Amino acid sequence: MTDGETPTTRPAKPALALVAHDQKKEAMAAFARTHVARLAAFDLYATGTTGGRIMEAAPSLPVTRLKSGPLGGDQQIGALIAEGRIQALIFFVDPLTPMPHDVDVKALTRLAELYDIPMALNQATAELIITHPDSVARPA
Ligand SMILES: O=C(CO)COP(=O)(O)O
């Protein structure tokens, strides 16, 4: 853009996926409430139930809700990562409960590793990412 030109499109926001296992949903809702302003800088995607909890906790945040994790939501987020459409993943994992869809969880985290996007698997790391939004690349 040169001087005097009006931008016709706003720069794309980076996309952030938010996922929480059942025992961590309360923590995810609190995280969304605490960081509502910072989260608004991202296009937000979430698995179904997590997305519902975030929208209850922070109604001003638009969230694209995918399927529930056990019904394919983790795989949908993985596919978006593979397509370069998700730039970071915050996943509050429950390390104490066996999951019927454990293979989907593994596949999701594997794709985040493979495509080398910032990935937080616990709250401490999520706080680091959300308080350092420049650590997340803008979409190409
Ligand atoms: O199971 C999940 C992640 O593995 C999360 O899915 P929900 O947000 O639909 O509960």
Measured between alpha carbons, how far is 41 from 38 in angstroms, rounded to an integer? 6
Q: Which domains does the chain have, with CATH numbers?
A: 15-133 (3.40.50.1380)
The pLDDT-based confidence of 140 (bands split at 50, 70, 90) is: confident
74 lines ligand 1 (CB under 6 A): yes
Residue 82: the pLDDT is 98
Predicted confidence (pLDDT) per residue in 5-34, tens digit: 555 666 689 999 999 999 999 999 999 999
Predicted confidence (pLDDT) per residue in 52-94, tens digit: 999 999 999 999 999 999 999 999 999 999 999 999 999 999 9
Measured between alpha carbons, how far is 88 from 136 in angstroms, rounded to an integer? 6
Feature table: binding site for substrate: 21, 25, 47-50, 68-69, 101
21, 123 in Cβ contact below 8 A? no
Residue 1: the pLDDT is 46
54 lines ligand 1 (CB under 6 A): no
